[in-house]
A and B are shown apart, each in its own frame.
Chain A
Amino acid sequence: MKKHFSLFLLLVIFMTRSEAQNYFDVSAGLQSIDQTAWNRTIQTYNFNRIWLKEPMPDLRNASNFSLGYSGVLASGLFFSPSLTYSAFKSSAENENYSTLARLRWLSVPLCLDIFPLEFGQDSVSSSVRPFLRVGGGASLLMPRVLINDSLTTVDDELYQPMVWPFFYTAGLGVRYNLNKSFGFLFTAMYLRYPSIDLEDFSYALNGNNLVGLTNETSVQSMTYQLSICFRLNGPKSESGEKPKKKVKFKKRR
């Protein structure tokens, strides 16, 4: 893990110090997840606690925030690591009784941005630049269940696991450069986690698992982000190639 992290750091430093065109992105957006197991656990909670007037909703959407970096690798090809934070919440407020299932979700995707219209081009004439993004990474998930603002327990110990699932991702994006140092970025990304085990989530919420609810499940997710982009380096071509000097012709008289 340390080795991979070191390589990643070296790559970022290399790109930052290179003469290439790099971006720093600050993003906000929406993340939606689609899976069955955890929501069945929540639905089981609701089904059993028929005395609660307000049921807990499913875990489905959350705002997300991220910091990203894009560094050019070659003409039309960028490397884009980022750090994304989401917090999914399912909460119910009943009279003198509150229930909250919270899933903090920190992701580190490492992606390649492929600008197919810019391969082999020395410069980009358009300020609107669509691209494909593919990659993968790891997430840190921190599920918590709170009843009346107190963390619940499993086997008499506070339920506060940390889970590190891997994912792969693919999606579409478009950069829009307002000027040479500032722009916008929109991405719509599909993420798939082959397996996430929320260790004892059903016990933490329901206190039992009599009907065999599963805590381990594959998860599909969509994220939509709008970013403000800052260009880090001096004026270079959008494709990453050094701009060619304008040739001045001598006028013959």
Chain B
Amino acid sequence: MDRRILLRNLLLGLPAGYIIPSVLSSCTKTDLLEMADFKGGVIVIGAGASGIYAAQLLKDQGIDVTVLEASSRVGGRILSDESFAGIPLELGAEEIHGQRSLFYDLVNYQFPERLLPEPGDNLYWLENQIRTEQFILENSDLQGAGQTLFQINESFGSYPGGDMSVLLYLNDFPVEERFMEIANAIIANEYGTSLNRMGMFALREAEAGYSSGLDGYFLREGTVWDVFSKAFSGAIDAVVLNQVVNRIDASGDQVSITTTNNQTYTADRVLVTVPITILQSGSIEVLPALPADKLASIQNISMGNGMKILLRFSAPFWKPETGSIIGGAVVPEYWVSTLGKATTAHVLTAFVMGEKADALNVLSEQQVRDTILAELQSMYPDEEVTGNCVGVLVKNWADEPFIKGAYSYPNPESTGQREILARPEHGKIFFAGEATNYNGHLATVHGAMESGYRACKEILES
């Protein structure tokens, strides 16, 4: 072959090798937001975790965002108190669920030294005795039933049977009656409800999607809101407080939002992040009316009562290694909220959800205090409990007028409903919030944040 011809061929061929990849690239869309054309304004209703996070994401994309908050504070179900024990204690969202979550990443980035792996041992109130997990798993009388319960709790994501209440399933399995309060605490109370109010299909749906990990973390110092406020100050600056929205009109080119104090806001899109209870109450009129399946999804997802009661003692009556006491008939779970923190205060948090919260809800604060202290005294008969109690702070989330409960839970009717709830309507109305998380992370801060991201992406691509 003539060398000149060969060289010419090579000169033509080699650049082709470089050109091919760029040609290939031009054939496919590689940018996450390549389809995003939206450049208008957005109103976010609700300044909780999902609303604030979504607002920050939108602002970072150059979108003009206003956040309307019904109450006089930001944060929604993130709330703390520092006056009760001299250190900040969480009255709302507290635990960081797993290492594989947005919220864990945020804390790990901003305040890695504050991450406190769930401290202390889990103790169980069983047959009028406080037992360690080790005792249950090694005692010949208890180990079989104990192992069964712990194994069941890890297998809901692959449940193969028909739909029924979780209580019925556990009764049939069988989980022994003496373990049922513990089952209620570790399965239902964690989800913000009671065993008889949960459905197996909805629980399977939630557990199968859950991916953030089983390790629990708390904050050694500071608050959950500290983390949010540091990261999302731009969104927080965009919040207008005391704006109770009662009408969303998406029938025109723009969305018009009216509040009870006769303020009107207009934007190109609206993101609704209010709790499911507020949607259920019908206090927000939506025009044009939402489709029937959306309205059904709103009614089908339940959210129950939830209380956190902080009890401060002059001296601890529990053993130093105590982390949680699980399985009480009045309070499904107590934990030592000052454990691992730099304080001399001794505080227990009583975490009560579902039916048990309903039972306490009808009592006065004094009666709540007396009832809980009586249960603790029965657990520690040889210690002075009631006399050592120097303060009680009751946070009843059902009393919050713009929240009306704790968080959504997997009730039987909610199966498959969260995705419908999350779906945008009329091309202008978008939905976020923990109840719209259909990926297993309902009822968590990071689940709320994920829903904020999902809605933000939908808006940008709308």
Contacts and interface: CB of A to CB of B under 8 A. Distances in A.
A190 B213 contact: no
A126 B29 CA distance: 44
A174 interface: yes
A153 B213 contact: yes
A166 B6 CA distance: 33
A35 B30 CA distance: 7
Contacts of A208: 100-102, 211-212, 439, 441, 446, 450
B171 to A, nearest CB: 29
Contacts of A231: none
A201 to B, nearest CB: 13
Interface in A217-251: 220, 222, 224
Interface string B1-15: 101001101100110
B439 A210 contact: yes
A36 B28 contact: yes
A5 interface: no
Interface string A47-71: 1111110000010000000000000
B420 interface: no
B105 interface: yes
Interface majority SS (helix, strand, loop, mixed), chain A: mixed
B197 interface: no
Contacts of A103: none
Nearest to A96: B112
Given A32-B21, A153-B99, A153-B100, A47 B32 contact: yes
The main secondary structure of chain B at its interface with chain A is helix
B20 A50 contact: no
Nearest to B25: A34
Contacts of A207: 98-102, 104-105, 211-213, 446
A140 B7 CA distance: 37
Contact of B100 (A44, A154, A211): A154
A210 B454 contact: yes
A74 B427 CA distance: 66
A47 B57 contact: yes
A48 B102 contact: yes
Nearest to B212: A207
Contacts of B6: 126, 128, 130
A149 interface: no
A165 interface: no
B453 to A, nearest CB: 5
A212 B28 CA distance: 18
B25 A210 contact: no
B295 interface: no
Contacts of B32: 40, 43-44, 47
B155 interface: no
Nearest to B231: A51
B441 A156 contact: no
B147 interface: no
A34 B450 CA distance: 28
A43 B33 CA distance: 9
B60 interface: yes
B24 A220 contact: yes
B17 interface: yes
Contact of B453 (A32, A48, A172, A174): A48
B106 A51 contact: yes
B457 interface: yes
A154 B211 contact: yes
A72 interface: no
The CB with the most chain A CB atoms within 10 A, among B28, B98, B101, is that of B28
> Which residue, of A50, A128, A156, A172, has the highest number of chain B Cβ atoms within 10 A?
A50
A60 B25 CA distance: 11
B211 A203 contact: yes
A35 B29 CA distance: 9
Contact of B30 (A36, A190, A211): A36
Contacts of B1: 117, 126
Contact of A210 (B98, B109, B451): B451
B57 A171 contact: no
Contact of A36 (B21, B29, B453): B29
A84 interface: no
Interface in B7-47: 7, 9-10, 13-14, 16-17, 20-21, 24-25, 28-33
B457 A211 contact: yes
Contacts of B9: 130
B28 A156 contact: no
A49 B100 contact: no
B153 interface: no
B110 interface: yes
A39 interface: yes
A211 B438 CA distance: 10
A138 B24 CA distance: 22
Contacts of A171: 17
Nearest to A58: B30
Contact of A128 (B3, B14, B28, B60): B3
Nearest to B10: A174
A124 to B, nearest CB: 9
Interface string B218-235: 000000000000010000
Nearest to A207: B100
Contacts of B24: 34, 220
A82 interface: no
A222 B20 contact: yes
Contacts of A190: 20
Interface of A: 32, 34-36, 39-40, 43-44, 47-52, 58, 94, 96-97, 117, 126, 128, 130, 147-148, 152-156, 171-172, 174, 186, 188, 190, 203, 207-211, 220, 222, 224
The 9 closest A-B pairs by CB, nearest first: A188-B17, A207-B100, A43-B32, A210-B439, A34-B24, A210-B450, A222-B21, A117-B1, A97-B109
Interface of B: 1, 3, 6-7, 9-10, 13-14, 16-17, 20-21, 24-25, 28-33, 56-57, 60, 98-102, 104-106, 108-110, 112, 211-215, 231, 437-439, 441, 446, 449-451, 453-454, 457
Given A58-B30, A117-B1, A155-B211, 11 more contacts: A34-B25, A36-B28, A48-B449, A48-B453, A51-B110, A128-B6, A174-B10, A207-B98, A208-B450, A220-B24, A224-B17
12 contacts: A36-B28, A47-B457, A49-B105, A51-B109, A97-B108, A126-B1, A130-B9, A147-B108, A186-B14, A207-B213, A207-B446, A208-B446
